[in-house]
Amino acid sequence: MSDKNCFEPICEKEDILNFKSKKRSKLQFEDEQPIQECPLNRATYGNYTWNMLHTTAIYYPDEPTLEQQQKMRNFFDAIAEFYACKHCKAHFQKDILKYPPQVTSRKDLSIWLCQRHNDVNLQLGKVQFDCSFENLEKRWRTGCQ
């Protein structure tokens, strides 16, 4: 569902609330297997979390108010406190103490988050991302148009 007053790519995604409210069979097509509803594993949970965090950061205001800055700090503090993966949470708690969230602008927050993601990827032996703001903007806000 698209909001006619919103021109951001994020508004073009399917309305998940509307999607979920429709009465649907677990079988979309006759040859499909039923959707198995299982708890997320660490890899899937992490991937969904990073996607949500990067998207949130790239839509953060360019010039946030002091109140918005404090709320964003609180947001990351809450993630560090309540994240379901215990060792991931412990690492993130140490990481944000060493490198506090940069909440003074969308650019600063997006780059800071990319650097935190790269820290995790380095520990996991995964690929490092290009943390230039131009790349982050394309990947998380304007790409695929």
pLDDT, tens digit, for every residue of 71-102? 999 999 999 999 999 999 999 999 999 999 99
Superfamily for domain range 40-142: ERV/ALR sulfhydryl oxidase domain (1.20.120.310)
In the chain, domain spans: 40-142
Q: What pTM was estimated for this model as a whole?
A: 0.79
Determine the residue type at 61. P
Sequence-ordered alpha helix ranges (H) in the chain:
16-21, 42-58, 66-82, 86-98, 106-124, 133-137
pLDDT in tens, 22-66: 445 555 556 667 777 899 999 999 999 999 999 999 999 999 999
Integer Rg of the chain from CA: 18
